[in-house]
Chain A
Amino acid sequence: MEFDQALQTFIMESRELLEAMEESLLGLESSPDDPDSPDNRDAIGAIFRSAHTIKGSGGLFGLDGIVAFTHVVENVLDRVRGGEVPVDGDLVALLLSCRDHIGMLVEQIAVDAAAQPDKETEATGIMLLNQLKAYQAGAKGTAPAVTGARVQSQAPVITTLPSGGTVESDNWHISLRFSHDVLRNGMDPLAFIRYLDNMGKIVHVVTLPDAMPLVPDMDPESCYLGFEIDFHGDNVGKATIEGVFEFVRDDCTLRILPPHSRIEEYIQLINELSEDKIRLGDLLVNSGSLTRKELDEALCLQALSAESCREKSPTQDICQLGEILVKQGMVQPELVDAALGKQKVAKENKVQESKLIRIQADKLDQLINLVGEMVIAGAATSLLAQRTRDPALHEATSTLSRLVEEIRDSALQLRMVQIGETFSRFNRVVRDVSKEIGKEIGLSIGGAETELDKSVVEKIGDPLMHLVRNSMDHGIEKAEIRRQRGKPAKGTVHLNAYHESGSIVVEVGDDGGGLNRDRILAKALEKGLVTANQTLSDQDVYGLIFEAGFSTAEAVTNLSGRGVGMDVVRRNIEALRGTVEIDSREGAGATVRIRLPLTLAIIDGFLLGVGSASYVVPLDMVMECIELDDAERQETRESNYINLRGTVLPFIRLRDQFRELGKAGRRENIVVVQYAGQKAGLVVDELMGEFQTVIKPLGKLFGNLKGVSGSTILGSGEVALILDVPALIQRAVSKEAQLLAYGL
């Protein structure tokens, strides 16, 4: 692994961990009353692990700033976990700030790996550290926290620390055998030992060069070394030591013996390691872990037990460790079972993890593009096949196009991500904003598992942010007003997402006061957006708040009220080929509904002909097609509506709309389209059926063209335009209104 790549992975992982940390912290804050509930215990554990992992991997990259800061945070979290420090709102708020600070440090690394934090960040860090001190006062072993985490350069091979040499029976004994690949995987074995030194005192290190091959056979990129370490540390548990080596867990054999271990365990250790047993025994004696007498006893005992085992099960050389332990009454069988179960679960988790592959987005985009080209080429092939009238070829191409369709679907599926991640980011936003504006507001999330295109998810974040802030600031009333209206004092903002007829709907709602129709109308009149004699539906009136510069808020706050924002929201959403509408009930709240296409790359289209040109309408908008017979054509010469099974269906003559020259065809058809609950007809010459449409942007030149949203390439190589039905209808509506207003 390249170092840069590894660093990228670190940054990405850190972001994810920080997100998880934030989530847990917010969860903790929402139910602080019961710090000992299992949920909260889990949350604290999760927060601790996140901090710990960031510190650990930060250390690998020598990111001292992150390590030093996170170490202090971790210490506090450890005390929280141990129940020494109670969880309260202040602590959670402080920890959230710490999380943000770590995030900031990580982002700075992301910009420039060698970056030093700027003065401002540094100041924030120091301030936070001071605040954290209050929670770690009296804690042991924090002294090396800030400076101790700095990686010191030490003599690389054999190190005997000055204080070592004395026989201390309360030392940990750690046996480390690194795999050959450890260096290739970007890990420096020494870094771990140095890191271990930060947690306590390494009393004795013996480097085992036994596995080292002869010089000609040696691969300088392989690691052949093993280490026997005696380690002394206060307040250090086995898990902590294991944690040190967490990142090389797969690349090393690690045996940890706690202080005052039973002699059998040393035997086990000697047995398990590959080196010469006698030599290893001597090593242990030399390093002060064992006395010579203890070793002799142990070797004797081992010989005996090995023999007795062999009698019982001749096929097996040495009994399983578990069995021996149980037999000797040291461990209860249930405990072994529990431990085994735990291992299994851990393993399964690992398997699940490895099912995920990180792919660069542009590689995926390239694949989607290729699939798009394939769809076009496939369409061309079937067109040719149809001309030949060869049934076998016809069948072959239809099989092919079915497969292509499946490939298209699964390729697009690759880009689909759940919206939940975007939603959960708002937990923090709602928390912070509600504190800022002094309203008690909660967030409820629905439909988090709804999937939509990654590029859409990326672009929906900002508009959602605007809408959520608007809801909180304007929508939800102050607590006293809420109480007067008989509503709970705590307001709720909900985010919801679901699929509806080929598009995805994202809702931002609140249980606040709703929109004030009269006030909006009054404001619109004042701004000259509408005229007094216009009759407007509720929808039209609510839609006015998306006009530029429109704001009914009495006071401009930090968050909203300046009248910029809502028009930006609408522009952003329209850029995604989506629409936005508002539902509101006075006194009960408002819901903003955003309708978005599922994907931006390929759609199922319906091909129609007008004059000599072909056009595509998104298939999911097409309700039905009917023929406009001669009688109806006569009738509708002057008016643009027909009677569709008893209901009025207004229609647009595309031929007129597009000013297509030449006589109308002998037959005309109406394509009935539906969008956002409205029905309309499009009069066309020819119906050409379903067509898989790869959307090609038309470019800036056509940016102002309303009614056409893009283009696609037909099987014949010709370009067909994709119609933007809502815009077409809108255009027809405004055109007719204008014509009538001019009295033409």
Chain B
Amino acid sequence: MGAIVRAEQRTEAASVEEGQSQYLTFLLGGEMFAIPILNIKEIIEYGSLTTVPMMPAFIRGVINLRGNVVPVVDLSVRFGRKAAAVTKRTCIVIIEIETGDEKQDVGVVVDSVSEVLEIPRTEVEQAPSFGAKIRADFIRGMGKINGKFVIILAVNHVLSIDEMAMLGQAGGAEPEILAPV
């Protein structure tokens, strides 16, 4: 753990043209997902997380990443599943998200990271219209690895800052009215 994977500075468009991309695969609730490695800045060990109150559950909290405060998202909760239990292999993957002309780092909690794989363009299928049990716009495609499918995530949708901030507003206020303390 604690290994740092630096993203290669290649543009996504270029790699698409080449017909293949590199993906980081990871496990989440027993299921395998993949993220294009160009978005990934580093992978760190899970720890010393500060919860932020009055935020929806999928925002686990914030961590200190070498002097910068970075929000951490629990992907399981974001997908509408149960919060991931923290184990020895739990990691935080730091992903760079572009919103407009701003860049923001966001951490993502995953059960364990697997490996960096190359999935040729030809081996990526369209997302199914249902059945994945994840919002369709979160899925960029289905990659085939050794005859099995992995879900390639559309990072900018899954971790859309604007959407999460809006949910934050709603998530912070609504339950309090409905459930008096």
**Interface, chain A (partner B; CB < 8 A):** 373, 376, 613-614, 656-660, 696-708, 711, 713, 716-721, 735, 738-739, 742, 744
Contacts and interface: CB of A to CB of B under 8 A. Distances in A.
B54 A700 contact: no
A700 B164 CA distance: 10
B15 interface: no
A701 B168 contact: yes
Contacts of B161: 699-701
Interface in B52-96: 52-55, 59, 61-64, 67-69, 71
B165 interface: yes
17 contacts: A613-B50, A658-B53, A697-B69, A698-B69, A700-B99, A700-B102, A701-B164, A702-B168, A704-B166, A704-B168, A704-B172, A705-B168, A711-B62, A711-B69, A719-B61, A719-B62, A720-B50
A718 B61 CA distance: 11
Nearest to A615: B53
B133 to A, nearest CB: 25
Interface stretch (B17-25, B33-41, B140-148, B173-181): B173-181
Contacts of A614: 50
Nearest to A697: B69
B92 to A, nearest CB: 13
Q: Closest 10 interchain pairs by CB?
A: A658-B53, A704-B169, A719-B50, A696-B69, A744-B180, A711-B69, A656-B181, A719-B62, A701-B71, A713-B64
B67 A713 contact: yes
A699 B50 contact: no
B43 to A, nearest CB: 18
Contacts of B54: 657-659, 705-708
Contacts of B106: 701
Interface size class of B (residues with CB under 8 A): 20 to 34
Contacts of B51: 613
B165 A735 contact: no
Contacts of A713: 64, 67, 69
A717 B48 contact: yes
A611 to B, nearest CB: 9
B69 A701 contact: no
From DSSP, what is the main secondary structure of chain B's interface residues?
mixed
A713 B65 CA distance: 10
Nearest to A739: B180
Contacts of A735: 176-177
Interface in B93-139: 99, 102, 104, 106
Nearest to A728: B54
B177 A738 contact: yes
B52 A702 contact: yes
Contacts of A708: 52-54
B165 A719 contact: no
Nearest to A731: B54
B165 A702 contact: yes
Nearest to B102: A700
B165 A704 contact: yes
A657 B64 contact: no
B165 A659 contact: no
B53 A659 contact: yes
Contact of A376 (B67, B166, B176): B67
A470 B52 CA distance: 40
A717 B49 CA distance: 10
A448 B181 CA distance: 49
Contacts of A699: 69, 71, 104, 161
B52 A705 contact: yes
A744 B179 CA distance: 9
B102 to A, nearest CB: 7
A708 B104 CA distance: 19
A699 B55 CA distance: 14
Nearest to A698: B69
Contacts of A697: 69
A401 B164 CA distance: 40
Interface centre among B52, B71, B165 (most CB of A within 10 A): B52
Contacts of B180: 739, 744
